[in-house]
């Protein structure tokens, strides 16, 4: 893998964002709105419920983590979509760059964009609503890492779907976090779900993250084995997603679909 080719992908995204306020503002405006909205909601809930229970770490903390996961996924897909929208995709793969280098460049771009969103969310949540994630120990870093890796996996899946079906398929990608959230148990324990949904929740890495977060916040025993399961699942999904992207790309090249890439479909 040539680091200079990976850097070229990252630099392209950097110049796109730097030169366009319409690309720069979304990096922080939506996460800022979410934190402010849910922050005031948690403050209100604290005033109308029995004293002794603090909704800020339970609800606002969950929103922060879920928004971070969503930003990671969208960071990968948006970097890919920039090449699709500008019809630059054929140019990219006509160059010597490999699939691994291209995906690494997309992931690296997502690291920077999601880090910006995370810092802004942390600053707003801490300064405005007294949320301090670092008070809960090093487990927070593990939670963020699991969500980051799984977000990368879903981002690659989104890119694969669009690569196979064409640019119009991007509308299959945006709802993915919303469709996944009921099984992830973002705002409620997984045991709240029906039995069949609990089975699916066990193969969704974020469910282990949010169950662990609630255990820490409420003072219950945190199972390290659950964290390990979530981490193993996340890594496995990244490997599967990368393999699927490679297979779809090879199919598109072998069948000539890549040469007919248009705004409609690759069917």
Q: Are 26 and 128 in contact (CB under 8 A)?
A: no
Average pLDDT, the chain: 82
What pLDDT band is residue 189 in, cutting at 50, 70 and 90? confident
Q: Which of 241, 215, 55 is nearest to 143 (CA)?
A: 215
Rounded Cα gap, residues 178 and 160, in angstroms: 19
Other CB atoms within 10 A of residue 90 CB: 11
pLDDT tens per residue across span 133-148: 666 667 778 888 999 9
| Cβ contact 112:102 at 8 Å | no
Segment 82-88 mean pLDDT: 76
Q: Identify the residue whose tokens are 């920077």.
A: 112
pLDDT 10s digits, 223-260: 788 888 989 999 999 999 999 998 988 887 777 766 65
Instruction: Report yes or no: 233 and 207 within 8 Å, Cβ to Cβ.
Output: no
CB contact at 8 A, 209 and 147: yes
- Percent of the chain at pLDDT exceeding 70: 91
What was the pLDDT predicted at 265? 46
Query: Given this model, what pLDDT does residue 135 score?
Result: 63
pLDDT reading at 27 higher than 60: yes
Q: What is the mean pLDDT of residues 35-46?
A: 83
Across the range 58-66, mean pLDDT stands at 83
pTM (two decimals): 0.85
More reliable by pLDDT, 186 or 131: 186
Which residue did the predictor score with more confidence, 72 or 50? 72
Query: Which positions ≥6 away from 54 have C-beta within 8 Å?
Result: 46
**How much is the average pLDDT of 105-118?**
84
DSSP one-letter code for 96: S
Give the closest residue to 125 by CA, choosing from 221, 193, 60.
Answer: 60
Residue 161 CA to residue 173 CA, distance in Å, equals: 8
**In three state form, how does the secondary structure of 20-87 look?**
CHHHHHHHCHHHHHHHHHHHHHHHHHHHHCCCCCCHHHHHHHHHHHHHHHHHHHHHHHHHHHHHHHCC
Q: What is the pLDDT of residue 50?
A: 66
pLDDT at 260: 59
Q: Which helix H or strand E contains 204, and what residues bound it?
A: none
In angstroms, the CA 252 to CA 260 distance is 9
**Which range in 6-15, 50-59, 218-227 is most confidently predicted, on average pLDDT?**
6-15
Q: Who has greater pLDDT, 80 or 56?
A: 80
The pLDDT confidence band at residue 266, using thresholds 50, 70 and 90, is: very low
């Amino acid at each position: 893998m040539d680091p200079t080719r990976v850097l070229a992908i990252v630099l392209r995204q950097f110049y796109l964002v730097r030169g366009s306020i319409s690309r720069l503002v979304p990096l922080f405006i939506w996460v800022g709105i979410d934190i402010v909205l849910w922050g005031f909601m948690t403050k209100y809930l604290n005033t109308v419920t029995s004293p002794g229970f603090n909704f800020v770490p339970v609800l606002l903390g969950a929103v922060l983590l879920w928004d971070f996961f969503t930003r990671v996924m969208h960071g990968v897909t948006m970097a890919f979509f920039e090449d699709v929208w500008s019809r630059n995709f054929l140019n990219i793969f006509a160059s010597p760059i490999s699939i691994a280098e291209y995906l690494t460049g997309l992931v690296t771009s997502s690291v920077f964009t999601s880090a910006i969103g995370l810092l802004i969310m942390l600053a707003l949540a801490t300064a405005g609503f007294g949320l301090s994630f670092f008070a809960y120990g090093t487990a927070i870093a593990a939670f963020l890492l699991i969500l980051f890796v799984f977000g990368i996996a879903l981002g690659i899946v989104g890119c694969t779907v669009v690569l196979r079906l064409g640019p119009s398929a991007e509308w299959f990608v945006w709802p993915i976090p919303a469709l996944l959230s009921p099984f992830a148990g973002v705002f409620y324990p997984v045991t709240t779900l029906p039995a069949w949904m609990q089975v699916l929740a066990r193969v969704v890495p974020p469910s282990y993250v949010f169950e662990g977060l609630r255990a820490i916040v409420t003072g219950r025993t945190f199972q390290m084995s659950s964290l390990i399961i979530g981490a193993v699942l996340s890594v496995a999904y990244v490997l599967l997603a990368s393999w699927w992207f490679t297979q779809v790309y090879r199919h598109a090249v072998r069948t000539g679909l890549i040469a007919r890439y248009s705004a409609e479909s690759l069917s």
